Amino acid sequence: MITITERAAEEIKLSTQNPDTQGLQMRFAVEKTDTEFRYLMGFDQRADSDIHLRSNGVEYVFAYAQKELLSGMVVDFDEISVEGGYGFIFMNPNDPNYEPPAEKLAPDKN
């Protein structure tokens, strides 16, 4: 359903070492407005109605009601060019503003 890249999983696993996150799973959610999707993530208790899955060793949950909005999303951790730093990146083909990442071109060896 949601793919968490290895790099994002490493960052999330670092956060699980905090005593306040023990026994909690990563929760993903999206707030849908007329013009955009706003992504939310944080540690939370699992509810009986949640979808509970695992990706790259990270247990995560999301509300069943958000299944169509989050299905196929990839969560990565990389440099954010606009804000100048690193952060989580949400690549969601269900988001009307989604643009696939440009492929990095290999340098010409000639």
Chain-centre distance for alpha carbon 98? 14
Angle at 5 between CA 77 and CA 85, to 5 degrees: 5
What's the CA gap between 24 and 42, in Å, rounded? 9
Q: Where are the alpha helices (DSSP H) in the chain?
A: 6-15, 67-70
Q: What is the pLDDT of residues 73-95, one digit of tens each?
A: 999 998 776 666 789 999 999 99
The reported pLDDT for the residue numbered 82 is 60
Q: Is the pLDDT of residue 11 over 80?
A: yes
Residue appearing with tokens 């990389």:
78
Q: What is the pTM of this model?
A: 0.84
What CATH number has the domain bearing residue 83? 2.60.300.12
Number of compact structural domains in the chain: 1
Helix (H/G/I), strand (E/B), else coil: 106: coil
Given this model, what pLDDT does residue 79 score?
Answer: 76
Domain that holds residue 33: 3-91
Average pLDDT for residues 94-105, to the nearest whole number?
A: 77
Q: Give me the pLDDT at residue 78, please.
A: 87
Residue 107 lies in a domain: no
Percent of the chain with pLDDT over 70: 88
